[in-house]
């Protein structure tokens, strides 16, 4: 195969894998963006904070099953291929979105309604638990060594793109198509129907992907693991590193993306439309930063970029969130959110490649997926609920210090770990 044909093949596969990733994250995040409208349909109480806490708890439950998805799909990806695992994950997400789209409300079936909602979110959580590890491994393995940070950053480009698409969907429905009353009555179902349809497109795209060379070599040489979970236990230190480097980063990410629209409306006092607009603009700019930071890591190394996030996050989280709480100006709020997201880019742009570079091919998908899913479940998936809980008990600023402490803990890991660009296990396959 010529060099130009090989580059074209890599780019097509990266595009197909990335588009599927975007669709999955859109499906997952429309729940959070539209929960402001459907909370009453499943939890008919007068207290808006209590309603949001209930929907946030279900959002968190979707994260709690991600370790199970990471384990099952990670094992499958290491034994049967990255492509096969990615096809299954996007199919599961399609099913979860369709269930939510047609789910009856509390007024129709009583307590059965939130139970169905929970089951759909658990299905989506299983899907994402496997999606992250397989897609991070796929993008890291399909990329060339020299540009691995740049290409793997597209996992978060598409992850953020999924959030952005969810936010744009909400903005379009809010501003142009439906009234607030219509959104609360039935309009919130539309994005889930769109998500189910897009997921079918994701299945078609992923069928055209090629398998990675690293997996094909493992298969050709008869080195596919019989028991990936047991084999992973030979890499306990790397597993702990993944948990440690993820904790602060994922908490910061979910604080400034998923929780932020609710924080801007429920705490800062901005309107829902204004909060959606701020989230949409800042998410777009944040998405554009990811390849730049990924390319920077190819030049200076992964560790310095992670340390930059850890230091700035530790120093500025409390000041940024406190300033947000004190402002009533939309422009100021947008600039503060953007400053926070620029700092978080030091983690999000390269965390996938760092984790993939820690493990050998035989356990790479599982090694990336399982410990990451555990850390995200504990720290990322609970961010929204914990933030709302601190507000509910009258100590909202304590949440700011909680985020700071977790980032500081991850900073200690960044300082002590090796630079994976120099010690990449992918280059040793």
pLDDT at residue number 59 = 66
pLDDT of 3 > 60? The answer is no
pLDDT of 4 > 60? The answer is no
Question: Could you read off the pLDDT of 180-199 as tens digits, one per residue?
Answer: 888 888 998 999 999 888 88
Copy the structure tokens of residue 317: 């989280």
CATH of 6-423, one of 3.40.718.10, 3.40.50.300, 3.30.830.10, 1.20.1250.20: 1.20.1250.20
Question: How far apart, in whole angstroms, are the C-alpha atoms of residue 1 and residue 273?
Answer: 52
Token pair 């990266």: residue: 14
Residue 60: pLDDT band (50, 70, 90) is: low
Tell me if residue 268 falls in helix, strand or coil. helix
Residue 48: pLDDT band (50, 70, 90) is: low
* DSSP result, 27-49: HHHHHHHHHHHHHHHHS--S-HH
pTM for the full predicted model: 0.82
* Average of per-residue pLDDT values in the chain: 86
Q: How many residues are given for the chain? A: 429
Copy the structure tokens of residue 226: 């019989």
pLDDT of 5 > 60? The answer is no
Task: Check if the beta carbon of residue 258 is closer than 8 Å to that of residue 159.
Answer: no
Token pair 């499943």: residue: 42
Question: Could you read off the pLDDT of 27-42 as tens digits, one per residue?
Answer: 877 887 787 788 777 7
* DSSP result, 108-162: HHTTHHHHHHHHHHHHHHHHHHHHHHHHHHHHHHHS-GGGHHHHHTHHHHHHHHH
pLDDT of 63 > 90? The answer is no
Task: Check if the beta carbon of residue 153 is closer than 8 Å to that of residue 93.
Answer: no
Question: How far apart, in whole angstroms, are the C-alpha atoms of residue 3 and residue 345?
Answer: 32
pLDDT at residue number 336 = 97
Q: What is the mean pLDDT of residues 339-353?
A: 95
C-alpha separations of 283 from 133, 391, 415 in Å: 23, 25, 29
Q: What is the mean pLDDT of residues 312-335?
A: 95
Query: What are the structural domain ranges in the chain?
Result: 6-423
Copy the structure tokens of residue 210: 């090629």
Q: Which helix (H) or strand (E) holds 24?
A: helix 3-42
pLDDT at residue number 50 = 60
Question: How far apart, in whole angstroms, are the C-alpha atoms of residue 160 and residue 253?
Answer: 10
């Amino acid at each position: 195969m010529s060099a130009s044909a090989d580059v074209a093949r890599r780019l097509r596969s990266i595009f197909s894998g990335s588009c599927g990733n975007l669709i999955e994250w859109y499906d997952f995040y429309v729940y959070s963006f539209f929960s402001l409208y459907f909370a009453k349909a499943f939890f008919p109480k007068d207290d808006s904070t209590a309603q949001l806490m209930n929907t946030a708890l279900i959002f968190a439950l979707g994260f709690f099953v991600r370790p199970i998805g990471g384990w099952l799909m990670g094992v499958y990806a290491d034994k049967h291929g990255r492509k096969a695992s990615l096809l299954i994950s996007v199919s599961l997400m399609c099913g979860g979105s369709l269930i939510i789209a047609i789910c009856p409300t509390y007024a129709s079936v009583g307590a059965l309604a939130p139970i169905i909602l929970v089951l759909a979110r658990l299905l989506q959580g299983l899907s994402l638990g496997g999606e992250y590890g397989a897609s991070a491994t796929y993008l890291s393995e399909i990329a060339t060594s020299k540009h691995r940070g740049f290409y793997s950053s597209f996992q978060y480009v598409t992850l953020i793109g999924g959030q952005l698409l969810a936010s744009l969907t909400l903005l379009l429905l809010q501003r142009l198509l439906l009234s607030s009353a219509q959104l609360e009555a039935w309009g919130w179902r539309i994005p889930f129907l769109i998500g189910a349809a897009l997921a079918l497109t994701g299945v078609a795209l992923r069928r055209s992907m090629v398998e990675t060379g690293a997996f094909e070599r493992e298969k050709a040489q008869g080195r596919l693991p019989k028991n990936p979970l047991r084999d992973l236990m030979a890499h306990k230190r790397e597993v702990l590193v993944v948990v440690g480097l993820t904790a602060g980063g994922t908490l910061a990410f979910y604080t400034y993306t998923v929780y932020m629209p609710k924080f801007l409306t429920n705490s800062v006092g901005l309107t829902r439309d204004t909060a959606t607009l701020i989230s949409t603009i800042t998410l777009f700019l944040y998405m554009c930063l990811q390849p730049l930071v990924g390319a920077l890591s190819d030049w200076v190394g992964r560790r310095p970029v992670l340390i930059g996030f850890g230091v700035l996050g530790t120093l500025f989280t409390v000041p940024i969130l406190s300033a947000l709480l004190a402002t009533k100006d939309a422009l100021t709020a947008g600039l503060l959110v953007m400053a926070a997201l620029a700092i978080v880019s030091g983690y999000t742009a390269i965390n996938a490649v760092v984790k993939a570079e820690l493990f050998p091919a035989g356990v790479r998908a599982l090694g990336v997926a399982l410990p990451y899913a555990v850390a995200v479940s504990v720290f990322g998936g609970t961010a929204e609920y914990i933030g709302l809980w601190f507000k509910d008990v009258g100590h909202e600023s304590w949440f700011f210090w909680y985020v700071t402490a977790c980032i500081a803990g991850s900073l200690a890991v960044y300082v002590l770990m090796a630079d994976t660009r120099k010690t990449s296990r992918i280059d040793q396959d």
